[in-house]
Structure 1
Amino acid sequence: MSSQVKTFQTVHDAYQFLQELGASSKLILHIKLVGEAAELLISKLHELDIHFDESFFRLGVALHDSGKILHPQELTAKGNNHEYDGESLLIANGVNPNLARCCRSHGQWQTMECSLEELLVALADTVWKGKRNPQLEDLVIKRLAKQCNKDYWEFFVEMDSYFETIASDGDSRLLRSQVAEQV
């Protein structure tokens, strides 16, 4: 295990780190596409004056599928072996355990106590491809509404519409991920 804590100034530093660990170009593209959805969420959260750890969210997205370095078949097939193994891989390579935990929490948010940022990573990893998860979205909306002191249903209407806007470009992002596979 690395004795020095690995820090990242930008998501590009995280991408470089993943490449050093053996990440494929397909994995890097995937996390960049999830990152596009994350950036849209970040813009909305800024607009709403929501306080959150933006750097943690961005880096969590960049690192959430690190375990797919060890389980590349899970880039195209269902599987969750990458979750625990990704967390272990990152911790063994000096990544802060709180950040490495995004490898597990993005897929196991239903059974773990998660921070807002971890829930946002899971949300970005869902909506990037045009998929919606009402249970996850409800958790995020409840956290945000409470933080803003807004009525849940008023906030729900605004956020539900925004999540749909992000998801509506999912086909385009999926197509870009498939076109890259063929190149």
Structure 2
Amino acid sequence: MTSGVLERALTDQPEPPLRPLPESAAAILRALDAPPRLAAHLRAVHNVACQLVDWLQTTYETVQFDADSVLFGAATHDIGKVLHPAELSGPGSSHEADGYQLLLAHGVSENAARFARTHAAWTEPDIDIDDLLVSLADKIWKAKRVPELEQLIVQRVASISGQEPWQVFMNLDEELDRIAADADQRLAFQAAYPITT
């Protein structure tokens, strides 16, 4: 049975509003009776991923990526913290591999589950633009800028779009500044929910 606090974390509307998680992701969180703070975090990161997807589709139409995978990945990337709740308030990476396994156990495809493993591993050789977007959403939601990660995205977008890297950087930088401006509200939304139910 889902706790009322978890349900509120999944449905409350702060200012500015957050988009709802994909229903398949929300259903997994309910089935696991996930910590409310985790649900709030996933909503914040998912909302940022929605903004990044919208921006990329509008600004760089030639860049092909799987928007649904990016949004599901952002909505579930930290699911392993159900098993490692201490990592909700402190450092740790045990949730990454365990989250991947947890999603597989809930019938999620390997392709969709991979973001639990890859969201902190953007330098690995098999990482694609979808993985990079989830990683970026997981940083910029709290206004954290990671130049190495941003540069990887700039290089991918520039090579596909034909636009000069400096121009891609300027466009991305402007979008990230816009998204980062609401970081305090997202952080407050997450902090409003307890780690335990």
Question: Fold match, TM over 0.5?
Answer: yes
Cα deviations by residue, 1:90-148 (Å, 9 ceiling, x for unpaired): 11222111211111100122235211111100000000011110000110111111111
Where do residues 23-38 of structure 1 align in structure 2 (5 Å cutoff)? 23-38=34-49
C-alpha distance 180-21 of structure 1, shift in aligned 2 (>3 A): closer
Which of 22, 47, 50 aligns to 1:11? It is 22
Partner of 1:83: 96
- Identity over aligned residues, as a percent? 37
Instruction: Tell me by how many angstroms 1:51 deviates.
Output: 2.4
Which of 50, 54, 74 aligns to 1:43? It is 54
Q: Comparing both chains, which one has the higher relative contact order based on Cα–Cα distances under 8 Å and sequence gaps of 6 or more?
A: 2
For 2:88, the aligned partner's letter is L
| Alpha-carbon distance in structure 2 between the residues aligned to 1:180 and 1:17 | 18
CA contact (8 A) 2:35 2:194 kept: no
For 2:30, the aligned partner's letter is Q
- SS of 2:193's equivalent in the other structure is helix
For 1:41, the aligned partner's letter is L
Structure richer in helix, relative to its length: 1
Which of 134, 150, 159 aligns to 1:137? It is 150
Cα deviations by residue, 1:62-89 (Å, 9 ceiling, x for unpaired): 1111101101111111111000110111
Q: Specify every segment of 5 or more residues in structure 1 that has no aligned partner in the other structure, as ranges.
A: 1-9
Partner of 2:167: 154
Instruction: Tell me by how many angstroms 1:177 deviates.
Output: 1.2
Matched, 1:57 2:70: yes
- SS of 2:120's equivalent in the other structure is helix
Partner of 1:128: 141
| Alpha-carbon distance in structure 2 between the residues aligned to 1:24 and 1:112 | 33
CA contact (8 A) 2:155 2:165 kept: yes
- SS of 1:59's equivalent in the other structure is helix
Instruction: Tell me by how many angstroms 1:168 deviates.
Output: 2.3
Q: Provide the alpha-carbon RMSD of the alignment.
A: 1.6
| Alpha-carbon distance in structure 2 between the residues aligned to 1:111 and 1:53 | 19
| Alpha-carbon distance in structure 2 between the residues aligned to 1:37 and 1:180 | 19
CA contact (8 A) 1:131 1:170 kept: no
| Alpha-carbon distance in structure 2 between the residues aligned to 1:63 and 1:39 | 14
Instruction: Tell me by how many angstroms 1:162 deviates.
Output: 1.1
Number of equivalent positions:
173
| Alpha-carbon distance in structure 2 between the residues aligned to 1:147 and 1:26 | 38
Q: Which runs of 4+ in 1 moved over 3 A?
A: none
